[in-house]
Amino acid sequence: MQMSENPMQDTSMGSGKNPMETEKHFLQMKWKIGNVQIDNPFVLAPMAGVTDLPFRILCKEQGAGLICMEMISAKAISFHNKNTIALMEIDPCEHPVSMQLFGSEPDLMADVAKSIEDRNFDILDINMGCPVPKVVNNGEGSALLKSPDLIEEIVRKVSSAISKPVTVKVRIGFENAPVDIVEIAKRVEDAGAAAIAVHGRTRQQYYSGTADWDTIRRVKEAVTIPIIGNGDVDSPLKAEALMKQTGCDAVMVGRAVRGNPWLFRELNHYFRTGELMERPSTEEIREMILRHARKQIELKGEFVGIREMRMWHGTLQVCATARVCEENQIR
**Exposed, middle or buried by CB within 10 Å (0-12, 13-18, 19+), for 151?**
buried
**Exposed, middle or buried by CB within 10 Å (0-12, 13-18, 19+), for 245?**
middle
Q: Is residue 61 within 8 Å of residue 97, measured between CB atoms?
A: no
Q: Taking Cα atoms as reference points, which of 247, 253, 180 lies closest to residue 217?
A: 247
Q: How many CA atoms lie within 13 A of 70 on its CB side?
A: 16
Task: Give catalytic status of residue 325 as yes or no.
Answer: no
Q: Is residue 191 within 8 Å of residue 149, measured between CB atoms?
A: no
SS3 at position 71: coil
**Exposed, middle or buried by CB within 10 Å (0-12, 13-18, 19+), for 224?**
exposed
Which of the following is catalytic: 68, 130, 248, 319? Answer: 130
Q: Is residue 141 within 8 Å of residue 132, measured between CB atoms?
A: yes
Q: Which amino acid is at 45?
A: A
Q: Taking Cα atoms as reference points, which of 204, 268, 197, 208 lies closest to residue 232?
A: 208
Alpha carbons 247 and 175: distance in angstroms, whole number: 27
Alpha carbons 278 and 6: distance in angstroms, whole number: 21
Q: Which residues are catalytic?
A: 130
